[in-house]
Amino acid sequence: MKAADLLWMAWRALSRRLTRTALTALGIAVAVASMVIFLSLGQGIRQVLTQQVLASGPQIQITLGGFSQGLPTTPDFPMSLARRIEAAKRRYGLHAVIPVLLAVRGGLNPSQTFLIFGYPVTSGLAAVAPGLHLAKGRLLGPSDRGAMVALVGAKAAQNAGAELGSTLRLNAQSQFKVVGILKASGGLEDNFIFVPLHGLQRAENAQHRASYLAVSLQHPRRAAAVARAISKRYRVDAQTQAQFLHYLDHAIAISDALRFGISLIALIVGGLAVANTVMMGVFERIREFGAMRAIGADPGLLRRLVLVESLLLSLVGGVLGIGLGALGVLGVNAYTEHLAGIAAAAVTWPLVALAILVSLALGLLSGIFPARSAGRASIAAALGRN
């Protein structure tokens, strides 16, 4: 029998039980849609971080403990070591060595969570966040060294309700006066609050300490060799952009696996629904199968027919699930763009291909047992059943 004939027979069988088929396909669609939404978060975050690191990240980032625990917000990098590395700029071909102090403040509401970025104002904002432009007020300058003033990203200003002259409270003792608001750039920096390094050190009781060093090079192609030399000489963890991106990709891959594991529960439920629908179809059509056997159909044909039904049902549900997932991603991005000004989810072609493959695998596994049952049907028993 030709594949087209087999496919047509499978479709006719499913369409005869349209309500059951539709509900089963909807169950698969929901399971696949949840997988698409969960995994699209990893794809979107990976794209955003890659663009941000390549566009504005330093060639080398130096910490004491690396990035295994995420952003190095702990102020454990001594400024004395930063000065030693800066003193060796000519030896290693360093263009700038910028100590950075990070602080996170916020609550249960994500829109009220902010990343405070302390940097030496004598270096200028472009040294740590190129591509940002002023919307209102002024930039931070050398005269602000140690002052409690702040330059606020567009999205952070919107979420905090900050205006020129307003104050942002960091803790019970410290608050920063807003002297400038930046234009929206569509990047992560829109959520940052930039303050003078010495002011943030005093507010955080972290005098003479930073979170990490951001290093730019005179010859960026030598980043890997310079990072190794600095790591060996000063016993620090110096990572290049490529290494940092590799770490980010590894971390996101782990989170992808966790999200896939969560969606796997829904996929298993969807697979059981497919198996139940196909198995019920086998029992209801046992006389039909008996008639087919009587006119010469072999058990292999019946098994293939049932498997095709299962695959077709899962494929329809999978395609519908991809569409539902894409709608869900639009909703997720609408929320994250309102919250942080970034699209945190992305449906890519590899993700679409994965969803199709998972749907087909689901149909294949779900149809194995019903197909075996159909192939074992006895002609005499089938024709004698009422």
Cα dihedral sign for 20, 21, 25, 26? negative
**Domain-by-domain residue ranges, the chain?**
3-49+252-384, 65-235
Query: Exposed/middle/buried for 224, CB within 10 Å: 0-12, 13-18, 19+?
Result: middle
| 280, two tokens | 């019920």
Can you tell me the distance from the alpha carbon of 358 to that of 276, in angstroms, rounded to the nearest whole number?
A: 18
* pTM over cut 0.85: no
Residue range 318-341, pLDDT digits in tens: 999 999 999 999 999 888 887 767
Cα dihedral sign for 157, 160, 162, 167? negative
Asked if residue 351 lies in contact with residue 43, where contact means CB atoms within 8 angstroms, the answer is yes
| 79, two tokens | 């400024």
The pLDDT value recorded for residue 381 is 54
Residue range 79-107, pLDDT digits in tens: 999 999 999 999 999 999 999 998 887 65
Q: How many CB atoms lie within 10 A of CB 140?
A: 23
Q: For tokens 């509401």, what's the residue?
A: 109
The pLDDT value recorded for residue 386 is 47
Q: For tokens 């591509």, what's the residue?
A: 131
Asked if residue 184 lies in contact with residue 154, where contact means CB atoms within 8 angstroms, the answer is yes
The pLDDT value recorded for residue 369 is 87
Asked if residue 164 lies in contact with residue 85, where contact means CB atoms within 8 angstroms, the answer is no
